[in-house]
Chains A and B, each alone.
Chain A
Amino acid sequence: MTKIDFCLNGTAISVDCDLSERLLDFLRTKSGNTGVKEGCGEGECGACAVLMNGKIVNSCMVPMANVAKKNIVTIEGFAKTERFKILEKAFSETGGVQCGFCTPGMIIASESLLNTYPHPSEDEIKIGMSGNLCRCTGYNMIIDAVKLAAKLGDGLW
């Protein structure tokens, strides 16, 4: 066990953990952040996406060792922001949420994308969301959701 210091959803924490423990497992089983989902467990689906220093990462591929001194935001932390409210509205209005399993990852990917490109082109959206799989929507509704969020949230990103 090694002590790891990092910042989780705005709170500095210090935890004893196995350095090879996946950030995904820490979040789901030790800190109660079950909004982070495990889909494939090998970086193909994006359901486990979280923000690390403001950028999307797949938490199934990050060991606790590489979380040291980092700033981690999960869907639970992000849900408290104004930008989340815009994304929530945009995803509901366009039908971008159906079964909902991919949604936390999709929202994190949208935030990471809009942080880089506040007014993304369709191609930039497709690249930004390329690591996230959805079996319900056929993706067009999610692309529409990001476009709508960029419009509704003009100035927030």
Chain B
Amino acid sequence: MVRQVMPTTLNEALELLENENYVLFAGGTDLMVQNRSWSETPVAFKQSVMYLGMLSELDYIRKEEDYLAIGAMTSLETILHHPDTPEIMKAIISEMASPGIRNIATLAGNIGNASPAGDSLVGLYLLDGMLVLKNHHGERLIRIHDFILGPRKTALKGNELIAEIRIPHVVFSKTVFHKIGPRKADAISKLSFCGAYKLEQDIITDIRITFGAVYMTIVRNKELEQKMLCKTKQELLAMLDELVNDYDQLIQPIDDQRSSRIYRKQVALNLLQKFIREI
């Protein structure tokens, strides 16, 4: 039987999760559309649902010494306007959905939904985001890279929920985000690109590149980033063809209703070249 529960505290939610599997419903802006039925009839969930809307204890943003802690029930709009949110995350969130959706949608929901086109993921991969997963017995910390296993697949166990997102404090010289979609608001990305670097005395001391919606998960490759370290801009430009070739191997998009494999690959590689040339 499909059950619907509405716990009022985190403890109550975790106790319920010990006994039954639930679809975890935060803002619900993906779930409501995915399970939508005819107008004027309730949304038809095929599995039991746990509504987390009453868990105001998970609605917070705290600046800790090494990272920014974002509670799982904090809305995207709250994160967007918080003074401590990293610029790159602000750039990404400002292009996600529209104000009416951002007021209810959550970052934890975008992560849990685990879509290859999830816009926040390109930023969280870039910043080495971490998640705090809780169950009734305790909690564990997991890297976003290890949490997302594939399209709509995560490492979340049946008795766990995402309680907090941690974004390490990092300083870059420049960050860029490009979202390619058919409309400025409310679009699901055809593809997305994030780049960030730190230049110290004309030498690259940190460089990170992520691509969204061009593979089963977000594409980020630390070995390739390592190759670009300790180089000057001129040296990077000299190795641009080689870099494009390397990333070309990693970018394996699909054809779907939003875009084509060929378009996605070409634009992703164009954005990579633009990013390197504009360092």
A127 to B77 Cα, complex, angstroms: 12
CB-contact partner of A127 in B99, B101, B103, under 8 A: B99
Q: Is B252 an interface residue (CB 8 A)?
A: no
A115 to B36, CA, bound (A): 32
Of B46-54, B193-201, B229-237, the stretch lying at the interface with chain A is B46-54
Q: A41-B36, A65-B6 are in contact. Are A46 and B98 (CB under 8 A)?
A: yes
Complex Cα gap A68–B53 (Å): 8
Identify B99's interface contact among A22, A56, A62, A65, CB under 8 A: A56
Residue among B54, B97, B100 with max Cβ neighbours from chain A (10 Å)? B100
Contact B54 A130 (CB under 8 A): no
In angstroms, Cα B94 to Cα A44, docked, is: 16
Is A28 interfacial (CB 8 A cutoff)? yes
Q: Known contacts A66-B51, A130-B186; is A19 also within 8 Å of B4 by CB?
A: yes
Query: For B44, what are the chain A residues with a Cβ–Cβ distance below 8 Å?
Result: 20
The A-B contact count (CB < 8 A) is: 112
CA A15 to CA B32, docked complex, whole Å: 21
Pick from A29, A57, A61, A68: contact of B40, CB below 8 A. A29
Report the bound CA distance from A127 to B94 in whole Å: 9
CB contacts (< 8 Å) of A61 on chain B: these are 27-29, 32-33, 101, 104
Contact A41 B42 (CB under 8 A): no
CB <8 Å contact, A69 and B54? yes
In whole angstroms, what is the CA distance A25 to B37 when docked? 12
Within 8 A of A (CB), among B48-75: 49, 51, 53-54
Say yes or no: is B147 at the interface (Cβ < 8 Å to chain A).
no
Nearest chain-B residue to A56 (Cβ)? Answer: B100
CA distance A43 to B42 in the complex (A): 16
Complex contact B29–A52 (CB within 8 A): no
Q: How far is the CB of A66 from chain B (nearest CB, A)?
A: 4
- Of all chain B residues, the one with the shortest Cβ separation from A44 is B186
Chain A residues near B45 (CB-CB < 8 A):
20
B33 touches A112 (CB 8 A): no
Distance of A22 Cα from B104 Cα, bound (Å)? 14
> Residue B98 contacts which of A63, A66, A131 (CB distance < 8 angstroms)?
A131
B39 and A58 contact, CB distance less than 8 A: no
For the complex, give the distance between the alpha carbons of A113 and B98 in Å.
12
Q: A42-B36, A130-B184 are known contacts. Are A65 and B53 too (CB-CB below 8 A)?
A: yes
Q: Please pick, from A20, A25, A49, the residue contacting B39 in the complex, using a CB distance under 8 A.
A: A25
**Min CB–CB distance B107 → chain A (angstroms):** 17
Interchain CB contact under 8 A, B36 and A131: no
* Docked pose: A151 CA to B134 CA in angstroms: 50
Interface assignment of A134: CB less than 8 Å from any CB of chain B? no
Instruction: Evaluate contact between B53 and A38: CB separation under 8 angstroms.
Output: no
A20 and B100 within 8 A (CB): no
**Does B25 belong to the interface (CB within 8 Å)?**
yes
Q: Is A21 an interface residue, CB under 8 A from the partner?
A: yes
Query: In the complex, what residues of A have CB within 8 A of residue B101's CB?
Result: 43, 57-58, 61, 131
Q: Which 9 A-B pairs have the closest CB atoms?
A: A131-B98, A130-B185, A65-B51, A66-B53, A20-B43, A18-B42, A19-B4, A20-B42, A56-B100
Listed by A's residue number, 24 A-B pairs whose Cβ atoms lie within 8 Å are A2-B6, A20-B4, A22-B32, A25-B39, A29-B40, A41-B36, A41-B39, A43-B29, A43-B33, A43-B98, A56-B103, A61-B28, A61-B104, A62-B28, A63-B42, A65-B51, A65-B53, A66-B25, A68-B54, A109-B100, A112-B99, A112-B100, A130-B186, A131-B100
Q: Residues on B close to A: CB < 8 A?
A: 4, 6, 25, 27-29, 32-33, 36, 39-45, 49, 51, 53-54, 77, 94, 97-101, 103-104, 184-186
Instruction: Given contacts A41-B39, A66-B53, A109-B99, list 17 more A-B pairs with CB under 8 A.
Output: A20-B4, A20-B43, A20-B44, A21-B42, A22-B32, A25-B40, A43-B97, A44-B186, A52-B104, A56-B103, A60-B32, A61-B27, A61-B101, A63-B43, A63-B51, A130-B99, A131-B98
